[in-house]
Amino acid sequence: MFNSTYKLYTHSYLGFGLKAARLATLGALATEGIDPHTFRSACLPRYLEAEWIFGGVKYQYGGNQEGEVGFEPCYAEVLRVVQGKLHQPDEIHRSSFYAFSYYYDRAVDTDMIDYEKGGVLKVEDFERKAREVCDNLENFTSGSPFLCMDLSYITALLKDGFGFADDTILKLTKKVNNIETGWALGATFHLLQSLGLSH
């Protein structure tokens, strides 16, 4: 590409982004959001009642007021979204990985990494933080009400979706070689390849 040769791996995981995963976890993907229905989850603060607009559709959601809350029931919910539904490339066992976008944002939101510098985490660090947040939701009220769900989903996606081991190292950054990167750059490479413009 552009008179240079790069070895890249690209695979689309359309529908497994953070916001689509929230809808899937809530069981709201198959709905249009028009029915006056409140979607409930063990991943949300017990007495939360709120609205969320995504894709031009308004959804009402809330916590399990009388059911279970916390990491274990939340993880069971998000696991249904990813388990057995993702391509697990062989390359994950012999490669290093960078993580961007919502991996980076949630790590910053929970003080696992510095916003400016990024950091290095293991997959198990996301699980540890998900347990801490989900089992103590009353202590994490200033951020997103989806924080427990998001961290649990990231953990399930990495471990049960992609097949990463607990000790897999993830480099969380906003830039690689001083170039801002994210999912859009990967999408661009995929588009160039599909158009035959990568040579």
- Would you state the pLDDT for residue 15? 77
pLDDT in tens, 121-153: 999 999 999 999 999 988 877 678 999 999 999
| H or E segment to which residue 86 belongs | none
pLDDT band at 196 (very low <50, low <70, confident <90, very high): low
Amino acid identity, position 186: G
Rounded mean pLDDT of the chain? 85
Say if residue 199's pLDDT is above 70: no
Give 174 or 78, the one with higher predicted confidence: 78
Name the residue with tokens 């003080």: 111
Q: Compute CA distances 36 → 28, 39, 102, 158, whole Å.
A: 12, 10, 30, 34
Pick the CATH number of 18-182 from 3.30.930.10, 3.40.630.30, 1.10.1040.10, 3.30.420.150: 3.30.420.150
pLDDT band at 17 (very low <50, low <70, confident <90, very high): confident
Domain boundaries, the chain: 18-182
Q: Compute CA distances 131 → 44, 56, 168, 190, 196, whole Å.
A: 13, 32, 18, 35, 45
User: H helices within 62-171, ranges in order?
Assistant: 71-82, 101-109, 123-134, 147-156
Amino acid identity, position 118: G
Q: Can you give the pTM of this predicted structure?
A: 0.84
> What value does the mean pLDDT take over residues 7-17?
72
